[in-house]
Amino acid sequence: MNIKEKLKNLDCEIITDVSLKKYNTYNVDGTALAIAFPKNIAELKTVIEFAKDNKIRTKIIGNGSNLVFSTKYYDMILINLKYFNDLKINDDTITVASGFNLMKLAYKVSRLGLSGMEFATGIPATVGGAVFMNAGAYNSDISHILVSAKILMPNLKIVELSNEDLKFSYRFSILQQQTDLICLEAKFKLEHGNVNDILKLIENRKERRLASQPLEYPSAGSVFRNPTSEIFAGKLIEDLNLKGHKIGGAVISQKHANFVINYDNATGDDIKKLIMETKAKVYEKYGINLKIEQEFVE
Protein backbone atom coordinates (compact mmCIF):
# COMPACT_ATOMS: atom_id res chain seq x y z
CA MET A 1 0.00 0.00 0.00
CA ASN A 2 1.48 3.38 -1.01
CA ILE A 3 1.43 6.57 1.07
CA LYS A 4 -1.66 8.01 -0.61
CA GLU A 5 -3.64 4.83 -0.01
CA LYS A 6 -2.51 4.80 3.63
CA LEU A 7 -3.53 8.44 4.02
CA LYS A 8 -7.02 7.70 2.73
CA ASN A 9 -7.37 4.98 5.36
CA LEU A 10 -6.70 7.39 8.23
CA ASP A 11 -9.58 8.39 10.48
CA CYS A 12 -9.64 11.93 9.09
CA GLU A 13 -10.97 13.84 6.10
CA ILE A 14 -8.07 13.94 3.62
CA ILE A 15 -7.65 15.03 0.01
CA THR A 16 -4.55 13.75 -1.82
CA ASP A 17 -2.75 15.45 -4.74
CA VAL A 18 -4.59 18.59 -3.75
CA SER A 19 -4.61 21.82 -5.75
CA LEU A 20 -3.64 24.68 -3.47
CA LYS A 21 -5.45 27.40 -5.41
CA LYS A 22 -8.35 27.77 -3.00
CA TYR A 23 -6.19 27.47 0.12
CA ASN A 24 -4.33 30.77 -0.28
CA THR A 25 -5.67 34.29 -0.72
CA TYR A 26 -3.36 34.97 -3.68
CA ASN A 27 -5.26 32.18 -5.48
CA VAL A 28 -2.03 30.82 -6.93
CA ASP A 29 -1.88 27.19 -7.93
CA GLY A 30 0.41 24.47 -6.71
CA THR A 31 0.00 20.88 -5.62
CA ALA A 32 0.63 19.08 -2.34
CA LEU A 33 0.70 15.42 -1.40
CA ALA A 34 -2.35 15.92 0.82
CA ILE A 35 -4.43 18.24 2.93
CA ALA A 36 -6.07 16.99 6.12
CA PHE A 37 -9.15 18.40 7.88
CA PRO A 38 -9.17 16.90 11.39
CA LYS A 39 -12.45 17.33 13.26
CA ASN A 40 -10.95 17.03 16.72
CA ILE A 41 -7.68 16.72 18.62
CA ALA A 42 -7.62 12.93 18.33
CA GLU A 43 -7.75 13.11 14.54
CA LEU A 44 -5.13 15.86 14.52
CA LYS A 45 -2.78 13.68 16.57
CA THR A 46 -3.42 10.74 14.22
CA VAL A 47 -2.31 12.80 11.20
CA ILE A 48 0.78 14.13 12.99
CA GLU A 49 1.82 10.67 14.19
CA PHE A 50 1.33 9.23 10.70
CA ALA A 51 3.48 11.99 9.22
CA LYS A 52 6.24 11.41 11.78
CA ASP A 53 6.19 7.64 11.23
CA ASN A 54 6.48 8.13 7.47
CA LYS A 55 8.94 11.06 7.63
CA ILE A 56 6.54 13.44 5.87
CA ARG A 57 6.57 17.16 6.58
CA THR A 58 3.42 18.79 7.92
CA LYS A 59 2.28 22.39 7.91
CA ILE A 60 -0.71 24.02 9.59
CA ILE A 61 -2.54 26.44 7.32
CA GLY A 62 -5.42 28.74 8.21
CA ASN A 63 -6.96 30.93 5.54
CA GLY A 64 -3.64 31.04 3.69
CA SER A 65 -3.75 34.82 3.98
CA ASN A 66 0.01 35.23 4.34
CA LEU A 67 1.27 32.28 2.28
CA VAL A 68 2.96 32.25 -1.13
CA PHE A 69 3.03 28.79 -2.67
CA SER A 70 5.36 27.82 -5.51
CA THR A 71 4.38 25.89 -8.60
CA LYS A 72 6.48 22.97 -7.37
CA TYR A 73 5.01 19.80 -5.89
CA TYR A 74 4.96 19.85 -2.09
CA ASP A 75 5.69 16.45 -0.63
CA MET A 76 3.94 17.36 2.62
CA ILE A 77 0.66 17.11 4.45
CA LEU A 78 -1.06 20.44 4.96
CA ILE A 79 -3.39 20.54 7.96
CA ASN A 80 -6.42 22.81 7.96
CA LEU A 81 -8.21 23.28 11.29
CA LYS A 82 -11.48 24.67 9.89
CA TYR A 83 -13.49 22.25 12.04
CA PHE A 84 -11.89 23.66 15.20
CA ASN A 85 -14.56 26.33 15.54
CA ASP A 86 -15.99 26.21 19.08
CA LEU A 87 -16.77 29.58 20.68
CA LYS A 88 -17.69 30.40 24.28
CA ILE A 89 -18.48 33.92 25.47
CA ASN A 90 -18.53 34.46 29.22
CA ASP A 91 -19.20 38.12 29.98
CA ASP A 92 -16.09 39.86 28.57
CA THR A 93 -13.95 36.73 28.23
CA ILE A 94 -13.89 34.88 24.91
CA THR A 95 -12.64 31.31 24.48
CA VAL A 96 -12.41 30.31 20.83
CA ALA A 97 -10.90 27.45 18.84
CA SER A 98 -8.08 28.16 16.44
CA GLY A 99 -9.96 27.47 13.22
CA PHE A 100 -12.59 30.15 13.87
CA ASN A 101 -12.57 32.99 11.32
CA LEU A 102 -11.04 36.07 12.95
CA MET A 103 -13.13 38.62 11.04
CA LYS A 104 -16.33 36.73 11.86
CA LEU A 105 -15.33 36.63 15.53
CA ALA A 106 -14.45 40.32 15.62
CA TYR A 107 -17.80 41.34 14.12
CA LYS A 108 -19.71 38.97 16.40
CA VAL A 109 -18.24 40.27 19.66
CA SER A 110 -18.44 43.88 18.46
CA ARG A 111 -22.17 43.53 17.84
CA LEU A 112 -22.45 42.29 21.44
CA GLY A 113 -20.91 45.53 22.67
CA LEU A 114 -17.50 44.04 23.45
CA SER A 115 -14.59 46.28 22.56
CA GLY A 116 -11.01 45.30 21.80
CA MET A 117 -11.29 43.36 18.54
CA GLU A 118 -12.31 46.23 16.26
CA PHE A 119 -8.83 46.14 14.68
CA ALA A 120 -9.42 42.56 13.51
CA THR A 121 -12.55 43.14 11.40
CA GLY A 122 -10.40 43.59 8.28
CA ILE A 123 -7.88 40.79 8.87
CA PRO A 124 -8.68 37.64 6.80
CA ALA A 125 -7.13 35.12 9.18
CA THR A 126 -8.13 32.31 11.47
CA VAL A 127 -7.74 32.76 15.22
CA GLY A 128 -4.78 30.38 15.24
CA GLY A 129 -3.10 32.17 12.37
CA ALA A 130 -3.66 35.51 14.09
CA VAL A 131 -2.01 34.25 17.29
CA PHE A 132 0.87 32.80 15.26
CA MET A 133 1.45 36.14 13.48
CA ASN A 134 0.39 38.43 16.33
CA ALA A 135 -1.89 39.94 13.69
CA GLY A 136 -2.78 43.55 14.13
CA ALA A 137 -3.88 46.88 12.68
CA TYR A 138 -4.65 50.41 13.85
CA ASN A 139 -2.03 50.34 16.60
CA SER A 140 -3.46 47.22 18.20
CA ASP A 141 -2.84 43.50 17.85
CA ILE A 142 -3.56 40.09 19.32
CA SER A 143 -1.08 40.60 22.16
CA HIS A 144 -3.23 43.45 23.53
CA ILE A 145 -6.19 41.15 24.21
CA LEU A 146 -4.91 37.58 24.49
CA VAL A 147 -4.87 36.02 27.97
CA SER A 148 -3.58 32.57 27.05
CA ALA A 149 -3.56 29.91 24.35
CA LYS A 150 -3.81 26.13 24.42
CA ILE A 151 -0.92 24.66 22.47
CA LEU A 152 -0.30 21.14 21.17
CA MET A 153 3.35 20.36 21.87
CA PRO A 154 5.65 18.14 19.75
CA ASN A 155 5.13 15.32 22.27
CA LEU A 156 1.37 15.70 21.59
CA LYS A 157 0.67 16.97 25.11
CA ILE A 158 -1.52 20.05 25.48
CA VAL A 159 -0.25 22.97 27.53
CA GLU A 160 -1.63 26.43 28.21
CA LEU A 161 0.78 29.26 27.43
CA SER A 162 0.25 32.73 28.85
CA ASN A 163 0.52 35.96 26.90
CA GLU A 164 4.01 36.36 28.33
CA ASP A 165 4.99 32.78 27.37
CA LEU A 166 4.18 33.50 23.72
CA LYS A 167 6.82 36.29 23.66
CA PHE A 168 4.79 38.59 21.46
CA SER A 169 6.37 41.50 19.62
CA TYR A 170 5.47 43.34 16.43
CA ARG A 171 3.93 40.69 14.10
CA PHE A 172 5.74 37.96 16.02
CA SER A 173 5.06 35.15 18.48
CA ILE A 174 7.20 32.25 19.64
CA LEU A 175 5.10 29.99 17.40
CA GLN A 176 7.03 31.36 14.41
CA GLN A 177 10.30 30.09 15.89
CA GLN A 178 8.96 26.79 17.16
CA THR A 179 6.83 25.75 14.22
CA ASP A 180 6.01 22.35 15.71
CA LEU A 181 3.83 24.10 18.32
CA ILE A 182 0.17 24.18 17.23
CA CYS A 183 -2.35 26.68 18.55
CA LEU A 184 -5.60 24.88 19.40
CA GLU A 185 -7.52 27.55 21.29
CA ALA A 186 -7.20 31.15 22.45
CA LYS A 187 -8.67 33.07 25.36
CA PHE A 188 -9.26 36.81 24.95
CA LYS A 189 -10.19 39.48 27.48
CA LEU A 190 -12.27 42.33 26.05
CA GLU A 191 -14.07 45.34 27.54
CA HIS A 192 -17.71 46.38 27.55
CA GLY A 193 -18.40 49.34 25.29
CA ASN A 194 -21.13 51.16 23.42
CA VAL A 195 -22.35 49.05 20.50
CA ASN A 196 -23.12 52.04 18.26
CA ASP A 197 -19.70 53.59 18.85
CA ILE A 198 -17.93 50.29 18.19
CA LEU A 199 -19.83 49.62 14.96
CA LYS A 200 -19.38 53.20 13.75
CA LEU A 201 -15.61 52.90 14.20
CA ILE A 202 -15.58 49.59 12.31
CA GLU A 203 -17.62 51.03 9.43
CA ASN A 204 -15.36 54.08 9.13
CA ARG A 205 -12.30 51.86 8.95
CA LYS A 206 -13.95 49.59 6.40
CA GLU A 207 -14.65 52.58 4.13
CA ARG A 208 -11.01 53.65 4.43
CA ARG A 209 -9.79 50.15 3.50
CA LEU A 210 -12.06 49.98 0.47
CA ALA A 211 -10.79 53.36 -0.69
CA SER A 212 -7.10 52.68 -0.13
CA GLN A 213 -6.55 48.93 -0.63
CA PRO A 214 -6.97 46.77 -3.79
CA LEU A 215 -9.46 44.40 -2.18
CA GLU A 216 -11.00 43.58 -5.57
CA TYR A 217 -7.93 41.47 -6.48
CA PRO A 218 -6.41 38.39 -4.83
CA SER A 219 -3.56 39.38 -2.51
CA ALA A 220 -2.17 38.60 0.92
CA GLY A 221 -2.42 42.08 2.36
CA SER A 222 0.62 44.19 3.15
CA VAL A 223 3.80 42.67 1.76
CA PHE A 224 6.32 44.49 3.95
CA ARG A 225 6.35 45.71 7.52
CA ASN A 226 6.72 49.44 7.99
CA PRO A 227 10.35 50.07 9.04
CA THR A 228 9.22 52.51 11.76
CA SER A 229 6.04 54.23 12.88
CA GLU A 230 7.07 57.19 10.71
CA ILE A 231 8.53 55.40 7.67
CA PHE A 232 6.00 53.51 5.56
CA ALA A 233 6.98 50.69 3.22
CA GLY A 234 4.29 51.67 0.72
CA LYS A 235 5.62 55.25 0.49
CA LEU A 236 9.17 54.03 -0.14
CA ILE A 237 7.94 51.77 -2.95
CA GLU A 238 5.68 54.46 -4.41
CA ASP A 239 8.53 57.00 -4.43
CA LEU A 240 10.50 54.58 -6.58
CA ASN A 241 7.66 54.75 -9.14
CA LEU A 242 7.04 51.02 -8.79
CA LYS A 243 3.25 51.16 -8.76
CA GLY A 244 2.06 49.06 -11.68
CA HIS A 245 5.40 47.26 -12.02
CA LYS A 246 4.79 43.61 -12.85
CA ILE A 247 6.40 40.24 -13.29
CA GLY A 248 4.23 37.73 -15.11
CA GLY A 249 0.72 38.09 -13.71
CA ALA A 250 1.86 39.69 -10.45
CA VAL A 251 1.59 43.48 -10.14
CA ILE A 252 2.38 46.11 -7.53
CA SER A 253 -1.01 47.69 -6.92
CA GLN A 254 -1.73 51.14 -8.34
CA LYS A 255 -3.97 51.75 -5.33
CA HIS A 256 -1.48 50.81 -2.58
CA ALA A 257 2.21 50.20 -3.29
CA ASN A 258 2.62 47.80 -0.36
CA PHE A 259 0.22 45.33 -1.98
CA VAL A 260 1.17 42.80 -4.64
CA ILE A 261 -1.90 41.54 -6.46
CA ASN A 262 -2.63 38.53 -8.61
CA TYR A 263 -3.75 40.56 -11.61
CA ASP A 264 -3.60 37.96 -14.37
CA ASN A 265 -3.14 34.31 -13.38
CA ALA A 266 0.08 34.97 -11.50
CA THR A 267 2.12 32.08 -10.19
CA GLY A 268 3.60 32.07 -6.72
CA ASP A 269 6.99 32.30 -8.40
CA ASP A 270 5.90 35.54 -10.17
CA ILE A 271 4.83 36.97 -6.81
CA LYS A 272 8.02 35.95 -5.02
CA LYS A 273 10.24 37.42 -7.76
CA LEU A 274 8.33 40.71 -7.68
CA ILE A 275 8.52 40.93 -3.89
CA MET A 276 12.25 40.16 -3.80
CA GLU A 277 12.99 42.59 -6.63
CA THR A 278 11.06 45.35 -4.84
CA LYS A 279 12.88 44.63 -1.59
CA ALA A 280 16.24 44.86 -3.40
CA LYS A 281 15.36 48.17 -5.09
CA VAL A 282 14.30 49.75 -1.79
CA TYR A 283 17.55 48.64 -0.17
CA GLU A 284 19.60 49.91 -3.10
CA LYS A 285 17.94 53.34 -2.98
CA TYR A 286 17.41 53.89 0.75
CA GLY A 287 19.62 51.35 2.53
CA ILE A 288 16.50 50.04 4.26
CA ASN A 289 16.14 46.26 4.45
CA LEU A 290 12.36 45.79 4.37
CA LYS A 291 11.04 42.82 6.35
CA ILE A 292 8.61 40.62 4.43
CA GLU A 293 5.35 39.84 6.25
CA GLN A 294 4.40 36.98 3.96
CA GLU A 295 5.79 33.44 3.99
CA PHE A 296 7.26 31.74 0.95
CA VAL A 297 6.36 28.10 1.50
CA GLU A 298 9.40 26.01 0.57
The domain that holds 220 is classified in CATH as 3.90.78.10
Last residue of a domain, one of 80, 112, 147: 80
Which pLDDT does position 279 carry in this prediction? 98
- DSSP string computed for 114-161: EES-GGGGG---BHHHHHHHT-EETTEEGGGTEEEEEEE-TTS-EEEE
The single residue of 115, 173, 219, 222 carrying the catalytic annotation is 222
Which pLDDT does position 274 carry in this prediction? 98
Last residue of a domain, one of 24, 52, 80: 80
Which pLDDT does position 179 carry in this prediction? 87
Domain span at residue 33 reads 3-80
Q: Annotated catalytic, 222?
A: yes
Burial class (CB in 10 A: 0-12, 13-18, 19+), 3: middle
Helix (H) or strand (E) run with residue 64 in it: none
Which pLDDT does position 92 carry in this prediction? 97
Q: Which of 227, 229, 253 is nearest to 242 (CA)?
A: 253
The single residue of 43, 118, 185, 293 carrying the catalytic annotation is 293
User: Is 207 part of a structural domain of the chain?
Assistant: no
Q: Pick left, alpha or beta for residue 3 (phi over 0 → left; psi -120 to 50 → alpha; otherwise beta).
A: alpha
* Distance (Å, whole) CA 21 – CA 13: 19
Residues 193 and 224 in one domain: no
Task: Quote the DSSP letter at residue 69.
Answer: -
Q: Please tell me the pTM assigned to this model.
A: 0.93
The single residue of 13, 171, 209, 277 carrying the catalytic annotation is 171
Flag residues of the chain having pLDDT under 70. 1
Q: Which residues pair with 126 in a beta bridge?
A: 101
269 SS3 class? helix
- pLDDT (tens digit per residue) in 21-60: 999 999 999 999 999 999 999 999 999 999 999 999 999 9
Q: Which of 54, 45, 56, 57 is nearest to 157 (CA)?
A: 45
Residues 248 and 291 in one domain: yes
User: Is 208 part of a structural domain of the chain?
Assistant: no
